[in-house]
Amino acid sequence: MSQNWRVIAPGRREMTGCIGKLIEGLVSGSATGLVPLLALPVSVHSHEDLDVLPGENVEDEEGDISCTKRSRKTALPQNHSSKAARIDHHDMHEVIHLGDSSRVRSLSNMPSEIHSRIFACLDDVMDVLHFSLSSRYFWAVGLLRIEEHVVCSLAPWAGEPIICIDDRCDPSNYPSGLLTPEQATEVRELNQVFDLNSFSIKNSYKRVGGLSLSQKLQEAFLEYESHYPMPELDRVEITMGLKPEILEFYPRDQTWILRNLTTKEFVRGEAIALRKEFIHGPQIDVLGFAEILISRISWSDEVEKIGRCDNVARGKWAGHRFDITSLSQIGCEKKFDSWKDVSNEILRELDLMISEETGDDWRDQLAEQHQKSATSAFSRYL
């Protein structure tokens, strides 16, 4: 059986790296890169239907899921508050001088609203960054625009049809309606990339990963600062401001869920995690949302048997649309009864796949192995 399993988003012509065998995608962590592709930052929605809340566990009646609403304004960190104060001070300064018709008007003397409109006209985020670095005041105005760019770059696969494939599967056998004729041709060309007997390779797919937009901005800032040194406090403030997705958008104190937007089903992170301490916001150690996806979106022409599951390569969710979001994002909605919690159903499927080889206590075994490896890795730095 080929080991060239990978996840693709045909609509974006993008793919992940190879995850190895399917069992490796379930227990080795090779699929964890899927999470940032789907995890929506707090209070930012990329679909119109994100206001629908999965409510209680209608499958096993485990009780209500508590949910709270979080205002983006109340979630702003301190550094944003200080920048807002700079902008307000600038506008007050403008009011004082409005009656002075002899005052020479310049770009810096214009109201902050005009400055915000100028920043909004800059499509290239690097232009926004360089303009922002021209003064402390323009940094205060420009940071909001930088944040918009960074937020828009997050969760690029949220709401996109995705499927985990091997390079031997004929695209004509994919789930009905997933690929257009053009996309089917592109997938065939993609498969040829891994065929050593192919001498004509054409690949329109791009591999996802690499530096995030935030990291690229940090690199650009360090390059700028190497030519125009600035005080340590300013350097730290700017560096922190360029990491919004880490500092603000994926809080660990909230409940995160994986949603199948196609079937209106969801999986709770707290239900699938091996240990509570393994949960780090949308990212969960060892067994998390990425592994759940691999268990359900795989597709192949060949039978793939894992444990007591006769064929996992005909995934129930192959070609569906997903996102990972927090309950605070979507609030408590009246439409919750149209969603189904399948957390326990999926856990039973995983048990069939994994328990035969590792035993019925496979969850404890995986958790202990992870904790031992983490302790060993930490001890090497002591």
- Decide if 224 is inside a domain: no
Residue 51: how many other CB atoms lie within 10 Å: 12
Tokens of 104: 């020479």
Per the model's pLDDT, the better-predicted residue between 297 and 30 turns out to be 297
The pLDDT of residue 261? 95
3-state SS class at 340: strand
- Decide if 327 is inside a domain: yes
Q: Which residues contact 152 (CB under 8 A, 6 or more apart)?
A: none
Domain co-membership, 59 together with 180: yes
Q: Confidence band (pLDDT; 50, 70, 90) for 201?
A: low
Q: Confidence band (pLDDT; 50, 70, 90) for 48?
A: very low
Domain co-membership, 334 together with 259: yes
Q: How far apart are CA 181 and CA 184, in angstroms?
A: 5
3-state SS class at 210: coil
- Decide if 176 is inside a domain: yes
Residue ending a domain, choose from 152, 178, 211? 152
Range of the domain at 98: 76-152
Q: How many domains does the chain contain in total?
A: 2
User: 299-349, pLDDT tens digit by residue?
Assistant: 988 877 787 777 788 899 999 999 999 887 776 555 656 889 999 999 999
Domain co-membership, 172 together with 127: no
Domain co-membership, 359 together with 300: yes
User: 97-140, pLDDT tens digit by residue?
Assistant: 334 444 445 777 788 888 889 999 999 999 999 999 988 889 98
pTM exceeds 0.85 for this model: no
pLDDT at 264 over 90: yes
29-34-39 Cα angle (round to 5)? 125
Domain co-membership, 148 together with 162: no
Q: Confidence band (pLDDT; 50, 70, 90) for 180?
A: very high
Domain co-membership, 165 together with 288: yes
Domain co-membership, 283 together with 326: yes
The pLDDT of residue 329? 74
Tokens of 111: 């109201």
- Decide if 124 is inside a domain: yes
Domain co-membership, 277 together with 138: no
Domain co-membership, 175 together with 273: yes
In the chain, DSSP assigns E strands to 6-9, 14-15, 163-165, 206-207, 256-260, 265-268, 279-280, 283-284, 298-299, 322-326, 340-341
- Burial classification of residue 381, based on how many CB atoms lie within 10 Å of its CB (0-12 exposed, 13-18 middle, 19 or more buried): exposed
Give how far Cα 219 sits from Cα of 38, 69, 129, Å.
Answer: 25, 35, 11
- Decide if 220 is inside a domain: no
3, 21 in Cβ contact below 8 A? Answer: yes
Spell 326-358 as b/e; 16+ CB within 10 A means b. Answer: bbbbbeeeeebeebbbbbbebeebbbebbeeee
The pLDDT of residue 289? 96
Per the model's pLDDT, the better-predicted residue between 212 and 269 turns out to be 269
CA dihedral sign, ordered 316, 322, 323, 329: negative
**Lowest mean pLDDT: which of 48-52, 228-232, 283-287, 323-327?**
48-52
- Decide if 330 is inside a domain: yes
Domain co-membership, 111 together with 130: yes
Give how far Cα 288 sits from Cα of 42, 207, 272, 283, 306, Å.
Answer: 19, 22, 7, 7, 18
For residue 7, what are the β-bridge partners?
164
User: 7-36, pLDDT tens digit by residue?
Assistant: 999 999 999 988 888 888 888 888 888 999
Domain co-membership, 324 together with 361: yes
Domain co-membership, 171 together with 187: yes
- Burial classification of residue 12, based on how many CB atoms lie within 10 Å of its CB (0-12 exposed, 13-18 middle, 19 or more buried): middle
